[in-house]
Amino acid sequence: MHRNRYKILLSEAEIRSRVEELARAINTDYSGEELLVVGILKGAFIFMADLVRELTIPIAVDFMDMSSYGASTRSSGEVRILKDLETPVEGKNIIVVEDIVDTGLTLSYIAELLRTRNPKSLRICALLDKPSRRKVDITPDYRGFTIPDYFVVGYGLDYNEEHRNYRDICILQPAQHED
């Protein structure tokens, strides 16, 4: 499949500008503090890489991998841990970096799990927020863009492990996938 079959929702330039703004806000909020940045694999890896390169505060990074989609375009509602953190979080400032908040089930599960580990603080930074699909009460502390109920790919987001490498965020046309 070719990129020209997708409608661009957010351009590379728009994304870059917003990531810089998010990093400035995080730098301000955590000035004089250390931060553990926790990326949620696989979708957030490009966003997280760009974000941490803009941070000027001391950081450490770690990753979690959760699954709630499989090969579908809709969340299954079941959350499974595929990879847990290697870094202890007790007493640390944590920002969880997520590609998209859809139903909120995965992020809510992650936040509750990390809170049981007694961090100093816990905030969420999501590139995309899709509040129309929310099933639980969770709101990112740092939000890149609020989007309508489209299934999007690119900039780390995938459909069936494809399209992560697009520099733009594109709407996946309904004729090109099946639920």
Residue 56 maps to a domain:
yes
Torsion on CA atoms 154, 67, 112, 134, rounded to nearest 10: 60
Residue 41 maps to a domain:
yes
Rounded to whole angstroms, the Cα distance separating 75 from 8 reads 23
* CA of residue 34 relative to chain centroid, distance: 21
CATH code for position 44: 3.40.50.2020
Give residue 1's pLDDT: 43
- Tokens standing for residue 11: 């351009």
Strands (E) located in the chain: 7-10, 35-41, 59-67, 80-83, 93-101, 121-129, 142-146, 152-153, 169-171
Dump pLDDT digits (tens) for 54-112.
999 999 999 999 876 555 555 555 778 899 999 999 999 999 999 999 989 889 999 99
Helices (H) and strands (E) in the chain, counts: 3, 9
- Expressed as residue numbers, the domain containing 36 is 3-68+79-176
Please check the confidence at residue 174 and state whether its pLDDT lies above 60.
Answer: yes
CA dist list (Å): 142 to 19, 61, 62: 10, 18, 19
Averaged pLDDT, 111-121: 97
Residues 112-134 as b/e (b if ≥16 CB within 10 A, e otherwise) read ebbeeeebeebbbbbbbbbbeeb
Active site residue 50: no
Averaged pLDDT, 31-36: 97
Dump pLDDT digits (tens) for 127-161.
999 999 999 999 999 999 999 999 999 999 999 88
Please check the confidence at residue 16 and state whether its pLDDT lies above 80.
Answer: yes
From 102, 129, 158, 168, active-site residue: 102
DSSP code per residue over 115-129:
HTT--SEEEEEEEEE
Total number of domains constituting the chain = 1
Averaged pLDDT, 117-127: 98
DSSP code, position 34: -
Residue 20 maps to a domain:
yes
Could you tell me if 138 and 108 are in contact, meaning their C-beta atoms sit under 8 angstroms apart? Answer: yes
Q: Which of 53, 120, 134 is nearest to 89 (CA)?
A: 120
Give residue 39's pLDDT: 97
Give residue 67's pLDDT: 75
Residue 73 maps to a domain:
no
Residue 74 maps to a domain:
no
